[in-house]
Amino acid sequence: MLEALVAIAGALLQAAGMLAVAPLLKTGIKKMKARLQNRQGPPLTQGYYDLAKLLRKEVIRSETASWVYVAGPRVYFSAAVAATTLVPVLVAAAPLEASGGILLLAGTFTLGRFALAAAALDTGSPFGGMGASRDMTIAALSEPALMLGLFTSALAAGSMNLGVLARNVLQQGPSFHPSDMLAFAGLFIIVIAETGRIPVDNPATHLELTMIHEAMVLEYAGPDLALVEWASALKELLYITLLVDLFVPTGIATSASPLAILGALAAWTGKVVLFAIAVTLAESTNAKLRLFRVPELVSVSLALAFLALAIRFL
Amino acid sequence: MIVALVQAALPAALVIRLLAITATLALTRRPKACRFVSLGGSILASALTLTVAVHVISAGRTVDGVLVGHAASGITFGYVINPLSAWFLMVLGLIAIPVAVFSTAYFAHAVSGPRTSTVGAAFNLLLGALETVFAADGVIVFLFAWELMTLATVMLVAVGHEDLASRRAAFIYLVMSHVGTGCLIAGFLALSAASGSLSFAVLLSGHVVSGPMRHGLFALFFLGFGVKAGVIPLHGWLPEAHPAAPTSVSALMSAVLITAGVYGLLKVCAFGLGVPDVHWALLFMGAGTLSAILGVLYALTQNDIKRLLAYSTIEHSGIILLGLGTGMVFLAQDRAELAALAVTASLAHVLNHALFKALLFLGAGSVVTATGTRQLEQYGGLLRVMPWTGLCFLVGAMAISGLPLLNGFVSEWLMFQALLLGFGSTTGLMRLNFPLGGAMLALTTALAAACFVRAFGIGFLALPRSRAASEARESPASMLAPQAFLAAMCVACGLFPGVLVGALGRVTASLPGLRPRPDMVRSAMGIASVPESFDALVPVVLGTAMVLALALAWRVTNTDRAVRRVPTWGCGGELTARTEYTATAFSKPLMLIFRAVYRPTRKVEALADVSPYFPQEVRYRTSIEPTFERYIYGPLVRGVLHVADGMKVLQAGSLHTYLAYVLVLAVLLLMWLGGAR
């Protein structure tokens, strides 16, 4: 009983914390990108201002849209929030890890994407359809690579449970086994693809024909858009945390002592910042790929994941 | 008392079906009475079957009895419902009842008056034959029912026989089924010759044949049952026959008829020929993966909603086979607990696929009735005029895409667990099959999500793309209630997978070589996998988290401000249905990425009066290459025709020649007999 209460409290705290931090990550990357381009960039709090502004705005929706259009951002948002309870962040156990592991996490993201893609088709605007089509295409291609990459870690730990996975890596200490490096590289590509970053998608573009995720949510405004933006930021933070858990869980708390958790908070922040720098560098040094070159990138990731598996287990 | 009642249930169901058929045929002139008699009888009989099936599964005890007995000759034909057949009978009952309820209103629209009696009779005949197939205790009853099942389906496919496509579909189905049945007859004859019995209990005990003979028989049965299961490349009939039949019948075909093939593969190939060979298992996995990937890829490009669903059936047949193949690898290695997990995944998917596919077909039936067309590009905006059908279709589309909280996710989750454990428990290069299978399963699921976002989004959302779509009306309650029931079942099985897996534990425990772990079930709400507890699944927890998050989303966005409705931005022009994204365009990126599979052809014609720079009209035509039809079925048919052409020499048409043949044959036979003595 007490355990369940602790889990629920942990889940609520973690969801709230991740929701609070997520906009910071997005602005942080924007800021670093601006600095690399010799621009000043927005202040770090800009993400919060944007959300507050959007949430205060008028609710404006298309005449042609049905309830699916309203449900889309809400389901997308709640799927991302629910996903936070499945990932270990500061303590080496996800708050609700009894409910399922990696597969459920991936499924939850797919649920959000499905809702948003269906909603994008609802306004009748061709851009929504185009965005939905491209988003589902890229998701379909990256799914096998994602699964194969996750399998490599799961098989090494003998579990699909993220808490067990993180504890396993922690126990073995930092490893520079080629298999880990390859699996990491493969998954990093997938994280780039799934979070809509250059070279797969450009989050800053306003050229309709090259947009993917942005085209999908082009019609949204006000509070509806705020939910989408917030959930996207949360999703990116979750993916980065997932990489941290799978490959460098160093510093994560293994007990619930306040000191360990404080230390874990510092370690996690540091690692997320490092990953954010990596994402920024990838964004700043690459050009966006043509849509039909994306499959090549994703197959590189698939090949890397497969090699990782082969090296480790054959 | 109860035993006697239970024993009487299946024969009673069959008798009810026979009575319904007779009454239906007698009432030919009164279509309305026909519908009520045939479908009412069918519902009653299916309910009886469902009851006995649930009884067998929950008690875990086999029920058997006699169907027909002839005292003078001492021949009796019996039936036996063991937990495995009970599982399939339960699927049949769960699907057949809503389909029959749906059909009462649907047939009135879709089937012309004078044909109602034929359709009603064939409907009962098909279900009765399927029940007998699942419950047969011996070869004779099985093959008899199998053939009846084929013929009843042909009757239903050929209902609209004025249409060439319909006749063609029925013919292709008939020919392919008979080739399959031929394989089965040969296989069963060989088995009974070796064992001297016609009863399944002896034939499929697993000790009848050995050595190369066993492999040969496996191949025969794989071909025979594979045709029914729609395994690529034996799937040719499936995408033709499904669109031709009335839609509620297509639902039955996809959900139940296909599972008859799976039942055969399971009963004979996996458990009937002794411990499966590893190569058989790999063949299952390979064929399953191929069917899954190609099925969903073809489904993605279909614009005919029924063909789309038919191809998706091939996909799911493939997924079921992949699970079964994984189970067979474990059986070959004598890993009883893992084999039980994989077979559980496979059987759970049989039920789950039946539920969501029947739901989607019924939804398609409603839509086709309301709009009069099967073309996805002619729909659009249907959610506005058909809100309940749309909601049910959405649930089905989400379930088939393997999204959590719905039933499709449960069986795919189980399958992933089985594949991962397979990797852990095998050695050598062969183990790579498992992660590859897992990656392909992931690709299939993600493509299915794209396919059904497209089917739902293009069909039900945005602006109507034709007059028929804007004038469509919601279906009557008798057509909606079955869909609501199936949608509720999809949600229930997704939220309480423990019930499903618990029931399957009793089914797998009855199969040779399987030993399900009792700790697989973690209360009604969740499952844990065997044996090292790779992962657990408790969907209710995630569902609760999602509901709370949904409440939060509502809280932060919901204010008292009024919603302002404005037109969608039409890119500077007027936004009409013609500027919407089409189904063809939606799947275009995937079609180009997988062009090696599709080999698409594209033709753009600009019709211009004055100058080619000012075209009056642009015609665009795109198509994908029917690879299997062109490169496998085509040459095969040509080859058979060529051989038949050569045999014409024998069929000279002259009576004298034929008499000479008889004489020569008689002499040869006598010589052979004399030599033998």
What is the pLDDT tens value at each position of chain A, 314 positions in all? 788 888 899 899 999 999 999 999 999 999 999 999 999 999 999 999 999 999 999 899 998 899 999 999 999 999 999 999 999 999 888 888 778 889 999 999 999 999 999 999 998 888 899 999 999 999 999 999 999 998 888 888 888 888 888 888 888 877 778 888 999 999 999 999 999 888 888 888 777 778 888 889 989 999 999 999 999 999 999 999 999 999 988 888 888 788 999 999 999 999 999 999 999 999 999 888 888 899 999 999 999 999 998 888 77
DSSP state of A86: T
Collapsing DSSP to helix, strand or coil, B433 comes out as: helix
pLDDT of residue A175: 73
Q: Kindly state whether B393 is in contact with chain A, defined as any CB-CB distance less than 8 angstroms.
A: no
CB-nearest partner of B447 from A59, A66, A140: A140
Model confidence pLDDT, tens digit, residues B137-189: 989 999 999 999 999 999 999 998 888 999 999 999 999 999 999 999 999 99
Residue with tokens 């197959």: A299
pLDDT of residue B427: 79
Phi, psi angle pair for B611, to nearest 5°: -130, 145
pLDDT of residue B359: 97
Which residues of chain B neighbour A11 with C-beta distances below 8 Å?
A: 545
Q: Taking a C-beta distance cutoff of 8 angstroms, is the pair A82, A108 a contact?
A: yes
A140-160 burial, b for 16+ CB within 10 Å, e for fewer?
Answer: bbbbbbbbbbbbbbbbbbbbb
Helix (H) / strand (E) element for B548: namely: helix B539-557
Distance of CA B69 to the CA centre of its chain: 33
A22's tokens: 């997520």
Residue with tokens 């030919």: B28
Q: What is the DSSP string of B24-71?
A: HHHTTT-HHHHHHHHHHHHHHHHHHHHHHHHHHHHHT--EEEEEEEET
Closest Cα to residue B234, out of B167, B180, B298?
Answer: B180
The answer, yes or no, to whether the previous bond of B31 is cis (omega within 30 of 0) is no
List B residues 420-479 in contact with A (Cβ-Cβ < 8 A): 420, 423-424, 429, 431-432, 435-436, 438-443, 445-447, 449-450, 453-454, 456-458, 461-463
Return the axis-axis angle of helices A126-157 and A102-120, rounded to nearest 10°: 180
Closest Cα to residue B519, out of B509, B508, B533?
Answer: B533
Tell me which of A55, A56, A63, A68 to substitute to probe the interface with B (most B C-beta atoms closer than 10 Å).
A68
CA distance A207 to B209: 68
For chain B, list residues with pLDDT below 70: 1, 529-534, 559, 676-677
DSSP state of B457: H
Q: Name the amino acid, one letter, at A25.
A: L
Task: Measure B476 CA to nearest chain A CA, in Å.
Answer: 22
B13's tokens: 């169901």
CA distance B442 to A145: 9
CB-nearest partner of B556 from A55, A79, A144: A55
Task: Kindly report each contact of residues A206-210 with a partner whose C-beta sits within 8 Å and lies 24 or more positions away, as own/partner.
Answer: A208/A127, A210/A288
CA distance B568 to A220: 10
Q: Kindly state whether B579 is in contact with chain A, defined as any CB-CB distance less than 8 angstroms.
A: yes
Residue with tokens 């002839």: B70
What's the distance, Cα to Cα, between the start and end of chain B in Å? 57
- Cα–Cα distances (Å) from B152 to B124, B247, B330, B572, B605, in that order, read 9, 15, 37, 56, 45
Strands B75-81 and B63-70: antiparallel
Strands B601-607 and B521-522: unpaired
CA distance B158 to B171: 9
pLDDT of residue B559: 67
B297's tokens: 């890829």
Between chain A and chain B, the number of residue pairs with CB atoms below 8 A apart is 278
CA distance B216 to B219: 5
pLDDT of residue B613: 80
Task: Measure B401 CA to nearest chain A CA, in Å.
Answer: 9
Q: Kindly state whether B405 is in contact with chain A, defined as any CB-CB distance less than 8 angstroms.
A: yes
CA distance B81 to A183: 49
Which residues of chain A neighbour B590 with C-beta distances below 8 Å?
A: 137, 140
CA distance A211 to B265: 47
Q: DSSP H helical segments within chain A, as ranges?
A: 2-36, 46-56, 67-84, 102-120, 126-157, 162-172, 178-194, 213-216, 222-247, 258-285, 294-313
Please list, in sequence order, all residues whose beta carbon lies within 8 angstroms of the beta carbon of residue B549, skipping any fewer than 6 positions away.
A15, A77, A78, A79, A81, A82
Strands B536-537 and B521-522: unpaired
- Cα–Cα distances (Å) from B126 to B92, B119, B122, B146, in that order, read 11, 10, 6, 10
Task: Measure B26 CA to nearest chain A CA, in Å.
Answer: 49
Residue with tokens 């504890």: A167
Residue with tokens 């959000």: A112
Q: Taking a C-beta distance cutoff of 8 angstroms, is the pair A291, B589 a contact?
A: yes
pLDDT of residue B39: 94
Q: Taking a C-beta distance cutoff of 8 angstroms, is the pair B10, B131 a contact?
A: yes
* A68, closest residue in chain B (CA to CA): B461
pLDDT of residue B677: 64
